[in-house]
Structure 1
Amino acid sequence: MITILCVDDEPDMEMLVTQQFRKQIRNKEYEFIFACHGQDALEKLAAHSEIKIVLSDINMPEMDGLTFLSKLKELNITDLKTIMVSAYGDMDNIRTAMNRGAFDFITKPINFDDMEITIKKTLSEIEVYANFQHDRDKLIAIEKDLAIAYEIQQSMLPKKENPFPDRHEFSLHGLLQPAKSVGGDLYDYMLLSDDRLLFFIGDVSDKGVPAALFMAITRTLFKTHFASYPNADLTEQIVHINNIMARDNPSYMFVTVFACILNIQTGVIEYVDCGHEQPLILRKATGEVEVLKKKDGGLPICLVEDFPYFSSTFKLNPGDSVILYTDGLEDARNITDVRYTIDSSKNVLKCLINDEPSKINTDLLMHVNSYIGTANQFDDIALLTLKYHGTSAS
């Protein structure tokens, strides 16, 4: 039921309105409240918060309609609409009323058919505004939920600049910059023993909330399985994780992964490639940035059960670093839609070969963001960099 406040000092107005709208009043479509001047109307509004429309005369004693409009504007009742009533041809007052916030007007002598049409038009506007407010409130709630989800996702990923302060043989650092509030990129690391360090990076085949959920599942499986079986073969663990995820995947999502185990004593890295990007190796001795020449890589995880993954190796010498990254790095685009490419990263990294992983990651990401500029970030970007210092480091 819509409550309408009718403000008019003419004694016959209440009878005329209730007679004209008796059917709507009987059917509880409309309820009318009456006031005889502006001050009376303000008191009625204070007592009846359910009022949605005000029909107000302009010329009234004690407080006229224009003054009432000014007072009403001060109350800032956003979902209240005012229809002014004035003599035909009184355009100066009508114009003033519209400038003070009136939604519409009707003229005297009142044509009640016109009044009903104007009321319905006003109600339609109120409904549009109410829907807008509802949608806006939903968006605000979603934004709050996404902000919480972002904090949860970021808290899942390790961010310490020096996560293993007692280990001087290596240092590592990771970071994630999602394209949306949350994303599907992941990375993590853990010591499996005194001589073996697991580190890996992944990229889910979607963006936003679905990818974030899939990312959380993937990371949890990796951490759980490698923590439970720290001495197990790397390839066997990947096959096992893939089988678990591939058996129940109604969304048909998948995740590319590059998983590594560093032999801390020798600098040899065993890796399994699950359809991921080629890592970059920073060679201290030559000052060059290499793209790892992978053998034929495996399929992304979660596509085919019992896929025969295999491992390969490469070696880091003391002072060398390896950078794992997701495709958001090389697929970043500027305002003219030109890709960043991996060659751009190589040029930046040549100046960072002697730096620690945290500086390598932050400087590289800063350069990519500068390249993107005002363009929208195309994809999530994750970086995980490990620097090998050797067993003689102290």
Structure 2
Amino acid sequence: MAIKILSVDDELDMEMLIQQRFRRQIRDKRFEFVFAHNGTEALEKLSEDKGIDMILSDINMPGMDGLTFLSKINDLSNPLLKAVMVSAYGDMENIRTAMNRGAFDFITKPINFEDLEITINKTIEHIEMLVQLQKGRDQYIAIQKDLQIANGIQQSMLPKKFPAFPNRTDVDLHAFLEPAKTVGGDLFDFFLMDDGRLFFIVGDVSDKGIPAALFMAITKAIFKSHFANETCGDICDEVRQVNKFLCQDNSSFMFVTAFLGILNLKTGEIEYIDAGHEPPLILRKDGAVEVMKKKGGLALAIDDMFEYTSHTVMLNPGDALFLYTDGATDANNILGQRFGLERIQRLIAPLAIAGKPQEINDLFYKEVKEFIGDFAQFDDITVMTIRYNGPA
């Protein structure tokens, strides 16, 4: 597309000289010239033609002179429109005034057309650079808006009504997800499978950002479709089916670590599967904080033939389970120190006996954010605390 240049000069032969000197560029549709003979006429041209990219204007003209015209151009608030001013060699005071008013460059009369072409090309390069910068800025703004929408969608997929079970006395639960970016790859979910069984899961996708968020959404949805229905079978069989689904067409080679289980609300027994995830903490009613022993298990979406096996752990009435993703333990501060599992144990131990799940999580969140401080959060942080109170 031709660069459109508005030439403003009261000397009528200037139009002929420009068309003659730049005839090749005009023929090749590199340049297109529009002509005006004073500032007033030039403003009318600008109003009629929004495609003008550059202005070449004389300073000394009858009616509206070039300096006044330049001030009017500034009022248009078009940062991409650049003006090159033309004046006599000895007219340095007006040239200086023009530059102070925002002119991009200047040339002097009598015009050296080789110098004029160099100046025009330099101005065009600057305008094209500004156009690319503006496009990049617009794209960035559009991406940020899309990310905010994606964040809203992702957060809407997560349970966020707490207390989770206000009408039940046998269990209390609270969870949160703090993404490192606008959207993240961590996930959590929980729901009653029936009146006596609670399903829960905390997971972490291997990547970050939008790809991880999409994989997170798929993972959460497929788990719910398998466990939140009356035909749900053995936990190992269901996880194997979920794993096979996640392995299909996984060209990005993402994987998901997860800790998931079914809490029997009558007995306190948890049947769980550890798919390569961080070991939960058990907060005993006597104040002890135990780290669950790892018993193997491969992350999901790696091997579609992997045979997952379940294990059991007992929660006594008054015990609580604290689950988290590695963003909680790997959180770093500006000194490069790691928050670590031992710090979490010491932090929540005073609340082990009677702390409500939300109190425990709020304390952890406050401390980890203060620990990170002004240092950028490196990874998504997800925490879930389940307090088992015993059968109703």
Could you say which TM-score interval applies, normalised by the shorter chain? Answer: over 0.9
Counterpart in 2 of 1:391?
Answer: 391
Q: 8 Å contact 1:153–1:182 — kept in the other structure?
A: yes
How many angstroms apart in 2 are the aligned matches of 1:230 and 1:368? 41
SS in structure 1 of the partner of residue 328 of structure 2 = coil
Counterpart in 2 of 1:120?
Answer: 121
Tell me how far 1:308 sits from its aligned partner: 2.2
Q: 8 Å contact 2:56–2:85 — kept in the other structure?
A: yes
> Mind listing any 5+ residue stretches in structure 1 that lack a counterpart?
none
How many angstroms apart in 2 are the aligned matches of 1:46 and 1:231? 69
Counterpart in 2 of 1:319?
Answer: 318
What is the identity, as a one-letter code, of the residue corresponding to 1:34? F
Tell me how far 1:381 sits from its aligned partner: 0.7
Q: 8 Å contact 1:239–1:308 — kept in the other structure?
A: yes
| Aligned pairs for 1:168-317 within 5 A | 168-229=169-230, 231-285=232-286, 287-294=287-294, 296-317=295-316
Tell me how far 1:72 sits from its aligned partner: 1.1
Counterpart in 2 of 1:334?
Answer: 333
Aligned-pair identity (%):
56
Give CA-to-partner distance per residue, 1:1-51, whole Å, 9 cap, x none.
221111112222112112212222233322222222222211211111111
Counterpart in 2 of 1:51?
Answer: 52
Counterpart in 1 of 2:134?
Answer: 133
How many angstroms apart in 2 are the aligned matches of 1:21 and 1:247? 62
Counterpart in 2 of 1:26?
Answer: 27
User: Paired residues, what number?
Assistant: 390
How many angstroms apart in 1 are the aligned matches of 2:251 and 2:133? 35
How many angstroms apart in 1 are the aligned matches of 2:52 and 2:307? 71
Q: 8 Å contact 1:193–1:230 — kept in the other structure?
A: no
Name the TM-score, length of structure 1 as normaliser: 0.95
What is the identity, as a one-letter code, of the residue corresponding to 2:355? D
Q: Classify 1:276/1:94 alpha carbon distance in 2 versus 1 (closer, same or farther; 3 Å).
A: same
Q: 8 Å contact 1:192–1:230 — kept in the other structure?
A: no
CA RMSD of aligned residues (A): 1.5
How many angstroms apart in 2 are the aligned matches of 1:281 and 1:94? 78
How many angstroms apart in 2 are the aligned matches of 1:27 and 1:248? 50
How many angstroms apart in 1 are the aligned matches of 2:195 and 2:215? 31
Give CA-to-partner distance per residue, 1:94-131, whole Å, 9 cap, x none.
22211111111111110011111111111111111111
How many angstroms apart in 2 are the aligned matches of 1:91 and 1:366? 63
Tell me how far 1:214 sits from its aligned partner: 0.9
What is the identity, as a one-letter code, of the residue corresponding to 1:323? F
Give CA-to-partner distance per residue, 1:227-264, whole Å, 9 cap, x none.
23555222222122112222432221110110111110
Counterpart in 2 of 1:68?
Answer: 69
Give CA-to-partner distance per residue, 1:204-236, whole Å, 9 cap, x none.
111111111111111111100112355522222
Tell me how far 1:383 sits from its aligned partner: 0.9
How many angstroms apart in 1 are the aligned matches of 2:204 and 2:51? 52
Name the TM-score, length of structure 2 as normaliser: 0.96
Runs of 4+ residues deviating >3 angstroms: 228-231
Tell me how far 1:352 sits from its aligned partner: 2.8
SS in structure 2 of the partner of residue 329 of structure 1 = helix
Q: 8 Å contact 1:185–1:382 — kept in the other structure?
A: yes
Give CA-to-partner distance per residue, 1:326-379, whole Å, 9 cap, x none.
000000111122211111212221233322212222221121111111111111
Moved more, 119-128 or 310-319: 310-319
What is the identity, as a one-letter code, of the residue corresponding to 1:385? T
Counterpart in 2 of 1:166?
Answer: 167
Q: 8 Å contact 2:320–2:385 — kept in the other structure?
A: yes
Counterpart in 2 of 1:86?
Answer: 87
Moved more, 301-310 or 379-388: 301-310
Counterpart in 2 of 1:350?
Answer: 349
How many angstroms apart in 1 are the aligned matches of 2:19 and 2:388? 87
What is the identity, as a one-letter code, of the residue corresponding to 1:117? I
> Mind listing any 5+ residue stretches in structure 2 that lack a counterpart?
none
Q: Classify 1:323/1:211 alpha carbon distance in 2 versus 1 (closer, same or farther; 3 Å).
A: same
How many angstroms apart in 2 are the aligned matches of 1:230 and 1:238? 14
Q: 8 Å contact 2:226–2:232 — kept in the other structure?
A: no
Counterpart in 2 of 1:367?
Answer: 367
Give CA-to-partner distance per residue, 1:169-208, whole Å, 9 cap, x none.
0011111111111111111111112111111111111111
How many angstroms apart in 2 are the aligned matches of 1:362 and 1:96? 61
What is the identity, as a one-letter code, of the residue corresponding to 1:6? S
How many angstroms apart in 2 are the aligned matches of 1:35 and 1:245? 67
Q: 8 Å contact 2:325–2:381 — kept in the other structure?
A: yes
What is the identity, as a one-letter code, of the residue corresponding to 2:388? Y
Q: 8 Å contact 2:232–2:238 — kept in the other structure?
A: no
Give CA-to-partner distance per residue, 1:111-169, whole Å, 9 cap, x none.
01111111111111111111111111111111111111111111111111123222210
How many angstroms apart in 2 are the aligned matches of 1:297 and 1:141? 44
How many angstroms apart in 2 are the aligned matches of 1:70 and 1:351? 69
How many angstroms apart in 1 are the aligned matches of 2:362 and 2:17? 75
